[in-house]
């Protein structure tokens, strides 16, 4: 009975070196801490992080341009201060109208 099962196994798998290599490959694919599933997950995470990096690099360049414009143009700086921080000149009054939400 055992002989029937052994005859069905290909001769390449009966070799102990082939069995060792097969066991090593199975171990590396499924049981190791850096298995194939973890590698896939890490590669997809790396792809996401690279796209976020590109987005933030573009935002940094935009911010540098805005800063350069604010430092070199007094009118733009004044407009930014008025809109963002509600600053005013000494001879002006600011009225803030708060709308009540239902």
Domain that residue 39 falls in: 34-102
Task: Note whether 89 and 43 are same-domain residues.
Answer: yes
Task: Note whether 4 and 22 are same-domain residues.
Answer: yes
Encode 75-98: b = buried (16+ Cβ within 10 Å), e = exposed. eeeeeeeeeeeeeeeeeeeeeeee
Task: Note whether 62 and 100 are same-domain residues.
Answer: yes
Sequence-ordered list of residues with C-beta below 8 angstroms from that of 6, at least 6 positions apart, any chain = 14
Q: What is the pTM of this model?
A: 0.52
pLDDT at 94: 75
Q: What is the DSSP letter of 34?
A: T
Task: Note whether 52 and 25 are same-domain residues.
Answer: no
What digits encode the pLDDT tens for the residues 16-41? 888 888 888 888 888 888 888 888 99
Helices and strands in the chain, H and E counts: 5, 0
What digits encode the pLDDT tens for the residues 56-97? 999 999 999 989 988 999 888 888 888 888 777 788 887 778
Task: Note whether 26 and 71 are same-domain residues.
Answer: no
Task: Note whether 50 and 82 are same-domain residues.
Answer: yes
Task: Note whether 48 and 18 are same-domain residues.
Answer: no
- The span from the CA of 14 to the CA of 11, in Å, is 5
């Amino acid at each position: 009975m055992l002989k029937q099962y052994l005859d069905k196994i290909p001769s390449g798998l009966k070799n102990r070196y082939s069995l060792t290599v097969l066991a090593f490959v199975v171990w590396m694919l499924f049981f190791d801490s850096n298995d194939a599933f973890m590698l896939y997950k890490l590669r997809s995470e790396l792809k996401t992080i690279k796209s976020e990096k590109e987005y933030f690099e573009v935002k940094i360049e935009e911010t540098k341009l805005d800063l350069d414009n604010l430092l070199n143009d007094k009118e733009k700086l004044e407009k930014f201060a008025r809109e963002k921080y509600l600053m005013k000149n000494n001879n002006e009054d600011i009225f803030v109208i708060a709308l009540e939400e239902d």
